[in-house]
Amino acid sequence: MTFFRHSEARLRATPQFPNAKKAKRYVGLLAALAIVMPASSSVCAQGSIAVTVVNMIPQQLSGESGTDSEPNLAVNPANPQHIAASAFTPDPMGGAHAPIYVSTDGGQSWALNSIVPGNDPRTGTHDITLRFGSTSNVLYAAIQRGDATNVLSVLRTNDFTSANPMTQLVRHDSVDQPYLEAISVAGTDRVYVGYSDLTAAAGTTATVDRPLNAATPAAPVHIDMRQRTTCHSGAPSIRPAIHKSGTIYAAFFRWTRCGSAPGVYHTDVVVVRDDHFAASLTGAFTALREQPAPVGDGMPGVRVATDRLVPFGVRTLGHQKVGSRISIAVDPYNRKRVYLAWGDGANAASYALYVRRSTDGGATWSNNLRVIPSATNPSLAINSRGRVGFLYQKLTGTAPNQRWETHLERTDDAFATHTDLILHHAPDTVGHDNGRNDVPLGDYNQLLAVRRDFYGIFSGNNMPNNANFPHGVKYQRHVDFVTQKLLAVDNATEVEPSIDPFFFKVRDSRRR
């Protein structure tokens, strides 16, 4: 069932709900969530590994064909059965609030809950990321509002299943790609939002805001992290990673020279660190410094890679733009062990993802542990056993028959060896109907580790073909796997393929 603040009468008046029974189900309470699934299995056992993949579009939206891309995921550490997610999904009723996806059964079934201010009728919100406090059960969101341009709202709700709209804690103008992380410390939640501040002068745009007590709507403190000069406003992706000890890393691209080729920027990959929850403005995110010249420049932040070429604002892999792709993760039981992944390369022939590791808190970094050509959307996570997960999407084949593969790699030995699960592979030919035609997969996906399990979300071609899902899949929306067709709410009318979000969980019962 999907949760809306709309009346049953209004639902009955829409084409998606031809009878009162479906309308009543659609506005039922979360306890009544019970969607009948197709027979196709969502769980694939591979030795001691259990893999679950679920198409998240609710059955009542079986007729939709939007580009539900750029997904994000939040799993409640205090209750992993409670999961929230987001994508470029508008409110089906055209209301003032955009939806999030909600699950109370560990991701087996999903519903929509329209509680995010500022709905865009095409995409819901613009950029959006979500996290739960680690012990509070409170859900936080950082969004670019869908009803404005480059306006940041930081939001919270005590009950992500409630129909009450999320409360706004903070609002900023001229912000790009907010990315949120949260942690509970001594009974309060601390929220960190990395973003590019478009109002700042060149060289001062990589930013982290942090409400130290996010239970109250106090204004956060704006912390600039880019003390070296840069060209233009810099890349929009600033990714924080929090350790329970108070150590916080942030990774970003520093554009050093612009315009060497159309849409291509010379870029340094930079990691900064703070060891006290960034509680003080004085010296925040300056715990890492390069060595003085000639080894380095003595400035805060370590340049992990220098003078790399990154395309921005241009299609590079198939239909997909790939600029500003970066991820960082810290070992929950070793604050000095941190992994970094990013993408660079001036064109399709040279673009690749790179993974490196630091074991001394970011002071020094390994050589490349993994190089994945023609891939984008890296996301790293480290579970309670120290096992590293690496999610990415790779373009294969040649035009016009190219395909996207979604991979999850896992390793215990810094990628000396690893296992590789291909969760999805499908044609790069759909999802160009709602203004997202240059990023049909979105600018990011998400991988999380909760205890020993990996949870994730990605967007991709929703054609119901079992061959596209090597580890099985469960659809909520009406499909026919025999004819490989999507079906509308009437379970008969054919619907064109498009881009949907897919949830997955990988549970590994093996001991490390």
| 384 is a domain residue | yes
Cβ-proximal residues to 74 (8 Å cutoff; 6+ apart), any chain: 83, 84, 85, 130, 131, 132, 139, 448
| 2 is a domain residue | no
Alpha-carbon gap, residue 371 to 212, rounded angstroms? 37
Please state the domain count of the chain: 1
| 70 is a domain residue | yes
| 477 is a domain residue | yes
Residue 308 in tokens: 């790399």
Residue 209 backbone dihedrals phi, psi, to 5 degrees: -100, 145
| 247 is a domain residue | yes
Q: Are 1 and 28 in contact (CB under 8 A)?
A: yes
Q: Give per-residue pLDDT as tens, 239-266.
A: 999 999 999 999 999 988 887 677 899 9
Beta bridge partners of 268: 254
| 42 is a domain residue | yes
What residues make up the domain containing 241?
33-89+105-111+220-508
* Residue 20: per-residue pLDDT: 37
* Residue 200: per-residue pLDDT: 61
| Amino acid occupying residue 9 | A
- Residue carrying structure tokens 């159309």: 262
pTM (two decimals):
0.90
Q: What separation in angstroms does the CA of 3 have from each of 28, 95, 114, 119, 472? A: 7, 13, 7, 16, 28
**Spans in the chain with pLDDT lower than 50:** 1-41, 202-203, 434, 512
| 210 is a domain residue | no
| 41 is a domain residue | yes
**Residue (of 363, 212, 189) closest to 281 by Cα position:** 212
* Residue 44: per-residue pLDDT: 63
